[in-house]
């Protein structure tokens, strides 16, 4: 049963990819979705067994790489963290499979699409179930690959190609960090297995790496930071976040899968999985917290002024991931994972709802050309409303429990990084509420802005698209309420040993006794943001118009709308110079320059020139030949007679060198 969970999506992938041609779209859909549903059921059973009944399970499947000390096996590690991730991944993946029936119904490549979805699920399951860092890396690269294939699904579109390449390359940047981190861990611990590394983590505390002179770095800090670089790439934290908004180019179910359950959650999963390591590396944890908070704030502000429906949701993903990451950075891995699980439900709901909206509006994605769909698509509207409310943390919905928990534990840290995260998180909560409400109002509430033909063809989603919405809406409504006391709090033993929190780091109890005002502040910001968005976009259009005339506000709008100009900075300073280096540096100077001139080509050219120069001595004139004859005879005589005489002072090999210089010396001969 445990291995079935891993292999079912693989079978789905193999059958749909290999036999999809004969199965057809419907057959492949039935097969892969059936496998996904079966996998989901098994995962629920696993959740019951492992997490609720408290029996973690470890399986060793086969040896993989055995080379002296390096001993990696295909092994599986099912503990509470893994099964939570498994349930999240398989449930969202199953619903996305089902949703694709309707959304991709007219696509001729439906089997390919479904096979990629299954491949994505397989790699994600591999990632979360592995019992060593190498297997994690296998899944890590695999989801990157699958995301590339899926973003690039409509491969005839140039934008999709570029977005997929960007996703792949930006992820690789992080993956290099991850690989270096794993390598560092192997150097420190002599193993890549979780059990060994985590057990020995405390012993290695305080070990340093010499840097320069007397300066040194804490080895564990370095390793954790490198691992975090991987998480930054995968979870789209500030710095490597630029691929995520562009990844919207794929079909909408793909965005749901990437943003909600699989790809981007891997970074948070890595942080949670490495909690025993991170607890021994306080400096690295500080960086994690700061970067997470910055990401949350950055993405929230950038999301406020985006006009693309999917892009708004993409920035909200980025922002919510920032919340999870800073929760992990503040040692509250349980809260981070709890938010991850909740986020998976309402973000999948939002994305699938957005897919329904786009479907209904005839592939229109611009918020400024929508509006007025409230009465025409009530189901979609309800789903989006629920998803948005869950996202902004409306009381008693999923996001409320986890986001407020994150902000509370941030406040209760009583140190700089905690306060920093709290302030930025609270501000982001206001922005989140603003853009979520703006999305709802401009999409559904405001006056119709699209074409007449669009509205004539406006339709509610078919049942295959509606059913996942309903199920996910149920999840968004209940997951926070149901799981809060199970996963969070002081008394729960839900996580067993899967998440570790160093003694003295936990402020879980303090968080419960915050002053009431601080507890209500995020909610106040949320309601304020929501009210502002509702007012501005529903009624006070002239106010917005007045703001648009002010230069300062216009500059701010441009700054935020262009995502803090990060992409432009990257292009100007990194992308272009890297491309220029590739062309001018490595290609022209190195490949065609140094290697060609001093390498084979230059060598042949030199010898050809030399031989031509020597051949040019034969002019055809008899008296030249006679002269050369005489000179040669003289030289020979001098050599034979003079050698014995000169050998006392001069090494005879020098003559050879001396003669050789005449051959190789640059002359005026032609260069072809």
Partner 1 sequence: MDLVHCLVLSLGLFLLGLWGIFLNRRNLLVMLMSIELLLLAVNLNLLFFAAYLDDQVGQIFSLLVLTVAAAESAIGLALLVVYFRVRGTLAVEFIHLLKG
Per rule CB under 8 A, is residue 672 in the interface with partner 1? no
Per rule CB under 8 A, is residue 574 in the interface with partner 1? no
Per rule CB under 8 A, is residue 620 in the interface with partner 1? yes
Least separation in angstroms between residue 632's CB and partner 1 is 14
Distance CA 316, CA 167 (A): 18
Q: Which stretch binds partner 1 (CB under 8 A): 322-330, 386-394, 431-439, 618-626?
A: 618-626
Length of the chain: 672
User: Which among 267, 271, 289 has a CA at the least distance from the CA of 422?
Assistant: 289
Instruction: For residue 221, count other CB atoms closer than 10 A to its CB.
Output: 21
Candidates 212, 414, 623, 649; binder of partner 1 (CB under 8 A) is 623
Q: Which stretch binds partner 1 (CB under 8 A): 142-150, 451-459, 543-551, 616-624?
A: 616-624
Question: How many binding residues for partner 1 (CB under 8 A)?
Answer: 13
Both tokens assigned to 582: 């590739």
| 60 membership: H or E segment, kind and range | strand 57-67
Distance CA 298, CA 276 (A): 29
Per rule CB under 8 A, is residue 619 in the interface with partner 1? yes
Per rule CB under 8 A, is residue 569 in the interface with partner 1? no
Least separation in angstroms between residue 629's CB and partner 1 is 9
Per rule CB under 8 A, is residue 618 in the interface with partner 1? yes
User: Which among 537, 379, 547 has a CA at the least distance from the CA of 447?
Assistant: 537
Per rule CB under 8 A, is residue 668 in the interface with partner 1? no
Distance CA 582, CA 427 (A): 42
Least separation in angstroms between residue 592's CB and partner 1 is 33
Q: Residue 61 or residue 616: which is nearer to partner 1 going by CB? A: 616
| 76 membership: H or E segment, kind and range | strand 70-78
Q: Which stretch binds partner 1 (CB under 8 A): 334-342, 554-562, 590-598, 619-627?
A: 619-627
Q: Residue 542 or residue 672: which is nearer to partner 1 going by CB? A: 672
Backbone angles phi, psi at 209, to 5 degrees: -110, 130
Per rule CB under 8 A, is residue 636 in the interface with partner 1? no
Q: Which stretch binds partner 1 (CB under 8 A): 233-241, 357-365, 438-446, 609-617?
A: 609-617
Q: Which stretch binds partner 1 (CB under 8 A): 292-300, 364-372, 449-457, 623-631?
A: 623-631
Q: Report CA-CA distances (Å) from 544 to 299, 553, 554, 558, 564.
A: 22, 10, 11, 15, 21
Per rule CB under 8 A, is residue 53 in the interface with partner 1? no
Distance CA 466, CA 620 (A): 95
Cβ atoms of 81 and 499 closer than 8 Å: yes
Backbone angles phi, psi at 231, to 5 degrees: -65, -35
Per rule CB under 8 A, is residue 630 in the interface with partner 1? yes
Distance CA 537, CA 169 (A): 38
Candidates 158, 215, 622, 640; binder of partner 1 (CB under 8 A) is 622
Q: Residue 217 or residue 628: which is nearer to partner 1 going by CB? A: 628
Q: Residue 586 or residue 619: which is nearer to partner 1 going by CB? A: 619
Backbone angles phi, psi at 61, to 5 degrees: -95, -55
Whole-angstrom distance between the N-terminal and C-terminal Cα of the chain? 72
Candidates 414, 617, 645, 649; binder of partner 1 (CB under 8 A) is 617
Candidates 513, 621, 645, 649; binder of partner 1 (CB under 8 A) is 621
Distance CA 348, CA 297 (A): 22
Contacts of 341 (CB under 8 A, 6+ apart): 84, 87, 88, 402, 479, 483, 487
Per rule CB under 8 A, is residue 626 in the interface with partner 1? yes
Q: Residue 67 or residue 622: which is nearer to partner 1 going by CB? A: 622
Per rule CB under 8 A, is residue 615 in the interface with partner 1? yes
Q: Specify which residues 130 forms β-bridges with.
A: 76
Least separation in angstroms between residue 604's CB and partner 1 is 20
Q: Which stretch binds partner 1 (CB under 8 A): 187-195, 417-425, 617-625, 663-671?
A: 617-625
Q: For residue 496, is it left (φ>0), alpha (ψ between -120 and 50) or beta?
A: left
Alpha helices for 104-154 (secondary structure H): 110-129, 133-151
Per rule CB under 8 A, is residue 627 in the interface with partner 1? yes
Distance CA 426, CA 413 (A): 15
Q: Residue 414 or residue 621: which is nearer to partner 1 going by CB? A: 621
Q: Residue 7 or residue 669: which is nearer to partner 1 going by CB? A: 669
Cβ atoms of 528 and 437 closer than 8 Å: no
Candidates 217, 616, 638, 659; binder of partner 1 (CB under 8 A) is 616
Q: Which residues within the stretch 159-218 sit at the binding site for partner 1 (CB under 8 A)?
A: none
Q: Residue 578 or residue 629: which is nearer to partner 1 going by CB? A: 629
Q: Which stretch binds partner 1 (CB under 8 A): 78-86, 411-419, 463-471, 608-616?
A: 608-616
Q: Which residues bind partner 1 (CB under 8 A)?
A: 614-623, 626-627, 630
């Amino acid at each position: 049963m445990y291995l079935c969970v891993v292999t079912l999506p693989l079978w789905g992938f193999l059958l749909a990819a290999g036999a999809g041609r004969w199965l057809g779209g419907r057959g492949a859909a039935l097969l892969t979705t059936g496998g996904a549903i079966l996998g989901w059921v098994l995962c629920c059973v696993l959740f019951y067994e492992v997490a609720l009944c408290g029996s973690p399970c470890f399986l060793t499947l086969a040896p993989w790489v055995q080379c002296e000390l390096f001993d990696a096996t295909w092994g599986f590690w099912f503990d509470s963290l893994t099964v939570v991730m498994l349930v999240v991944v398989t449930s969202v993946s199953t619903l996305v499979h089902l949703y694709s029936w309707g959304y991709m119904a007219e696509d001729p490549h439906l089997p390919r699409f479904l096979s990629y979805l299954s491949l994505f699920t397989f790699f994600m399951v591999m990632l979360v179930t592995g019992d060593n860092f190498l297997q994690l890396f296998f899944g890590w690269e695999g989801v990157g690959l699958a995301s590339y294939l899926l973003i690039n699904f409509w491969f005839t579109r140039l934008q999709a190609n570029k977005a997929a390449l960007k996703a792949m390359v930006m992820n690789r940047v992080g993956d290099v960090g991850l690989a270096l981190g794993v390598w560092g861990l192997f150097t420190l611990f002599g193993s890549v297995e979780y059990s060994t590394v985590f057990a020995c983590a405390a012993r290695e505390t305080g070990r340093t790496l010499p840097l320069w002179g007397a300066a040194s770095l804490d080895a564990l800090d370095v390793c954790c930071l490198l691992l975090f670089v991987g998480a930054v790439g995968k979870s789209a934290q500030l710095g490597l976040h630029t691929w995520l908004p562009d990844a919207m180019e794929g079909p909408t179910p793909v965005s749901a899968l990437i943003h909600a359950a699989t790809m981007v959650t891997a970074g948070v999963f890595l942080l949670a999985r490495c909690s025993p390591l991170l607890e021994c590396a306080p400096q690295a944890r500080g960086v994690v917290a700061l970067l997470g908070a910055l990401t949350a704030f950055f993405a929230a502000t950038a999301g406020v002024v985006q006009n693309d429906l999917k892009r708004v949701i993409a920035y909200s993903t980025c922002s919510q991931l920032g919340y999870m990451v800073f929760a992990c950075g503040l040692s509250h891995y349980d809260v981070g994972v709890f938010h991850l699980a909740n986020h998976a439900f309402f973000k999948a709901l939002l994305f699938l709802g957005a897919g329904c909206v786009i479907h209904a509006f005839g592939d229109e994605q611009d918020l400024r050309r929508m509006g007025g769909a409230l009465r025409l698509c009530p189901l979609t509207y309800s789903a989006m409303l629920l998803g948005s409310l869950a996202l902004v943390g409306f009381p008693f919905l999923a996001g409320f429990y986890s986001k407020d928990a994150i902000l509370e534990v941030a406040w209760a840290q009583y140190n700089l990084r905690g306060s920093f995260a709290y302030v930025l998180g609270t501000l982001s909560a206001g922005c989140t509420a603003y853009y979520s409400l703006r999305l709802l109002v401009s999409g559904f509430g405001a006056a119709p802005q699209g074409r007449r033909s669009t509205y004539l063809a406006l339709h509610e989603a078919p049942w295959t698209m509606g059913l996942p919405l309903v199920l996910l809406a149920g999840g968004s409504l209940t997951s926070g309420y149901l799981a809060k006391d199970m996963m969070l709090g002081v008394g729960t033993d839900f996580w067993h040993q899967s998440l570790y929190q160093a003694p003295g780091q936990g402020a879980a109890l303090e968080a419960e006794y915050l002053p009431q005002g601080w507890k209500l502040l995020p909610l106040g910001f949320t309601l304020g943001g929501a009210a502002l968005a509702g007012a501005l976009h529903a009624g006070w259009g002239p106010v917005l118009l007045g703001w648009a005339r002010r230069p300062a506000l216009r500059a701010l709008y441009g700054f935020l709308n262009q995502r803090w100009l990060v992409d432009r900075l990257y292009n100007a300073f990194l992308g272009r110079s890297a491309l220029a280096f590739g062309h001018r540096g490595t290609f022209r100077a190195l490949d065609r320059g140094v290697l060609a001139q001093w390498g084979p080509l230059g060598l042949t050219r030199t010898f050809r020139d030399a031989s031509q120069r020597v051949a040019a001595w034969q002019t055809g004139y008899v008296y030249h030949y006679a002269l050369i004859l005489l000179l040669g005879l003289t030289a020979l005589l001098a050599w034979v007679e003079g050698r014995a005489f000169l050998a006392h002072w001069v090494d005879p090999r020098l003559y050879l060198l001396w003669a050789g210089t005449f051959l190789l010396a640059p002359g005026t001969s032609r260069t072809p």
